[in-house]
Amino acid sequence: MNKKNISPESVFNMYEKGVTYKRSEKLYQMAEQNENFYASIQWKGVTAKNMPKPTLNFIPQVVDTKISFVISDSIKLLRKPDEISAFEEDEVVKKAADVFTQLDKKNWERSDIGTSTDMKGMNQRLLFDAALTGIGVSFWYWDKNIRTGNSFTTSGDFIGELIDMTNFYVSNPNEVDVQKQEYVILSSRMSVSRARKLASDKGVSDDDLRKITSTSDQDEEGFSKSQNQQNDGDETGQTTVLLKLWKDDDTGTVHFIRSSKEVLFGEPIDTKLRIFPIAIMQWRPRKRFIYGTAEVTDMITNQQAVNKLQALRILSTMLTAAPKGVYNKNKVKGVTNLVGGMIGVDGDGDINNVMKYVQPSQITLDIDKASNAMVTMTREFKGLNENALGISRPENTSALLAQQKASSVPHENIKRRFHGYVKDVGEIWGEFYRTQYDLKRKIVDEEKNEIIEFVGTDYKDVFLKTSVDVGSDNQYDDLAGLQILKELVATKDISVTQYLERIPKNLIPDQVKLIGELGGDTRIAQEFKYEMMARTLESLDDEMKAKIMNLKEDKREEVIMQLALENKPQAPQAPQQQQQAQQQQQRQQQNIRPEQARQQADKQTNPNRGNEAVQRVANNRATKADPSDRVKQSINNR
């Protein structure tokens, strides 16, 4: 599409085509009804005066639970060099991958990445939009007023905004890939004064500014709250403003322009982006239909049936809860409801022929059974059983984890679509890095503990693969992880310090301080380790020492440690502990078996003990990192 063909009339005609299509598919009606039913507005339009209107709303439980399942994973973006890239081994590409990965991590944790929310909150709201209207849409744009918080003279960053389905229009609704659209139009309602201010900032003349007046297009907003807007006249009323995005035929980049029905807000602007800065997620896809299917839509009929059944039950109770009294007017002149009041009766005879109460018929229990069955079946068809809702009581941790895993299976497809959406967002972020980060910036690589300086535009021709790393952010998975860590500590495969470093933060008071204190104990253990190695080396004969010292430095420490472990020298102990250890050793020597005694004697008299250890370690062990300078110095001094 060429920017020369842009006019306010053409933009508004494209918008009206989208409105007509949505009306034909009843999308505005669907969006309003779904939102109302979620918000417990479920008797709108019903005029039965004497009919009770109860609302037993199970829709929020289904929607909120499924959103929780989808967003329960901890996800992050990863960048890798493309395997077919000619620059695969290029340091520039590797640095770009590192920089982009660190930028993704920083931006994911930004509190202002979305409108007044962080990325996790924005994702939760997007899933909510998708569950209610069938599609979640995020739009990303550059905001020059965002402060970056570094020492360089840089300002501005990208920010995201969620777009309602009713404000999202495409050139071809039968094409589900938004990047293949010829154009995208985003509509919004804003005050006339704000619209005029935006147009004035783009150089629109005063005569054209006066053409921007209030309109009544809010019927297309789809939500009743949007339709019931404040409108006090041309200056403070509301008007429709359109934002059109398209890919220019000449540059291949995305351009955009704002427009009202009568006025263009300045000239088209080149974003320099090669893809639309728009990411979408369909809650449940439909063939050749970009707007998807909502979670709430097919629950409304069931919800209405449950409400009507309960309304009939309540109405029956209201009409029949108190028994009806009847009396013979020829024998009773008046009836009083006073407590203890007397009622006069003419004549005599059976009192049942004078006055009695008529017992009402009992309401059928089928109403409750049908209502409960409908709610239960709706939940189960939506993939929510007792395990998913937390109603069941598992016998142990393993059963709990198995139930939690099984309950998440029905939602895996929704998770995959959400992860695909996150990947698309990562691609958009990468475009901003390459095109808008045109000044030197700094980013902290926490893993390598270093600060990286970069200019994003240096990587404008670097192609990187974007992937989504999915972890666990679930309390049951955390429980399983803690159990595994405890078992590793019990078997002494990891230390207590390693355990504390891997458990969730703030689980233990003063956790960081405790790790620091245990770190001191670890250093003491290292001191003992070095002393043990030195004693072992000193106990060997000169020939063996020479053989060990002639080994490569990366083998020397390993050989000495092997010999030290065979000797198993003990750490220094307190006098009382030494006495107890000597007594225990004497008892063990008294009970030693003959074959064990021979093995110990052979070990002490075998002159090739050191040679065997040297050869075994040199041949079978993998190369380790260089020993510390302190170990080298200790061994050399010995």
* More confident of the two residues 99 and 554: 99
- When pLDDT is cut at 50, 70 and 90, the band that residue 427 belongs to is very high
pLDDT in tens, 207-261: 999 999 888 766 556 555 555 666 555 556 889 999 999 999 989 999 999 999 9
* pLDDT confidence of residue 388: 65
DSSP secondary structure of 542-567:
HHHHHHHHTS-HHHHHHHHHHHHHHH
Report in angstroms the alpha-carbon separations of 269 from 156, 246, 372. 17, 11, 57
pLDDT in tens, 606-622: 444 444 544 444 444 44
* pLDDT confidence of residue 621: 42
Distance CA 321, CA 327 (A): 20
Report whether 540 contacts 548 (CB < 8 A). Answer: yes
* More confident of the two residues 196 and 597: 196
Lowest mean pLDDT across 168-177, 437-446, 501-510: 501-510
Instruction: Name the helix (H) or strand (E) containing 133.
Output: helix 119-133
Distance CA 423, CA 78 (A): 9
pLDDT in tens, 124-164: 999 999 999 999 999 999 988 877 655 555 678 899 999 99
Instruction: Name the helix (H) or strand (E) containing 358.
Output: strand 355-358
* More confident of the two residues 366 and 429: 429
pLDDT in tens, 235-247: 568 899 999 999 9
Report whether 78 contacts 101 (CB < 8 A). Answer: yes
Q: For residue 190, give every residue at least 6 positions away whose Cβ sits within 8 Å of its Cβ, in sequence order, or none.
A: 238, 239, 241
Q: Say yes or no to pLDDT of 596 above 70.
A: no
Distance CA 467, CA 80 (A): 8
Report whether 291 contacts 280 (CB < 8 A). Answer: no
The reply to whether the predicted model has a pTM over 0.75 is no
pLDDT in tens, 80-107: 887 655 554 578 888 888 899 999 988 9
* pLDDT confidence of residue 624: 41
Q: Say yes or no to pLDDT of 356 above 70.
A: yes
**Measured CA angle at 537 (ends 536, 539), to 5 deg:** 65
Average pLDDT over residues 181-199: 93
Residue 178, both tokens: 């938004």
Residue type at position 595: E
* pLDDT confidence of residue 491: 82
| Portion of the chain with pLDDT greater than 70, in percent | 71
* More confident of the two residues 468 and 582: 468
Lowest mean pLDDT across 482-486, 498-502, 595-599: 595-599
Average pLDDT over residues 519-548: 67
* pLDDT confidence of residue 268: 94
Residue type at position 374: M
Report whether 67 contacts 124 (CB < 8 A). Answer: yes
pLDDT in tens, 442-460: 887 776 677 888 888 888 8
Q: Say yes or no to pLDDT of 181 above 70.
A: yes
* More confident of the two residues 333 and 306: 306
- Listed residue (246, 245, 240, 222) closest to 165, CA to CA: 222
**Measured CA angle at 366 (ends 360, 371), to 5 deg:** 120
* pLDDT confidence of residue 405: 63
User: CA 151, 153, 156, 158 torsion: positive or negative?
Assistant: negative
**Measured CA angle at 60 (ends 59, 63), to 5 deg:** 85
* pLDDT confidence of residue 482: 74
Report whether 38 contacts 44 (CB < 8 A). Answer: no
* pLDDT confidence of residue 113: 78
The average confidence (pLDDT) of the chain is: 78
Place of tokens 């063996």: 544
DSSP tally for the chain: helices H, then strands E? 22, 16
| Portion of the chain with pLDDT greater than 90, in percent | 36
Q: For residue 109, give every residue at least 6 positions away whose Cβ sits within 8 Å of its Cβ, in sequence order, or none.
A: 118, 119
Q: Say yes or no to pLDDT of 377 above 80.
A: yes
- 3-state DSSP assignment of residue 394: coil
Report whether 100 contacts 79 (CB < 8 A). Answer: yes
Distance CA 127, CA 477 (A): 22
Distance CA 112, CA 105 (A): 14
* pLDDT confidence of residue 50: 83
* pLDDT confidence of residue 236: 63
Distance CA 75, CA 97 (A): 18
Rama region for 252: left / alpha / beta (φ>0; ψ in -120 to 50; rest): left
Phi, psi of 294, rounded to the nearest 5 degrees:
-85, 155
Q: Say yes or no to pLDDT of 500 above 50.
A: yes
Rama region for 390: left / alpha / beta (φ>0; ψ in -120 to 50; rest): left
Q: Residue 347: is it exposed, middle or buried by C-beta count within 10 angstroms (0-12/13-18/19+)?
A: exposed
Report whether 139 contacts 160 (CB < 8 A). Answer: yes
Q: Say yes or no to pLDDT of 625 above 50.
A: no
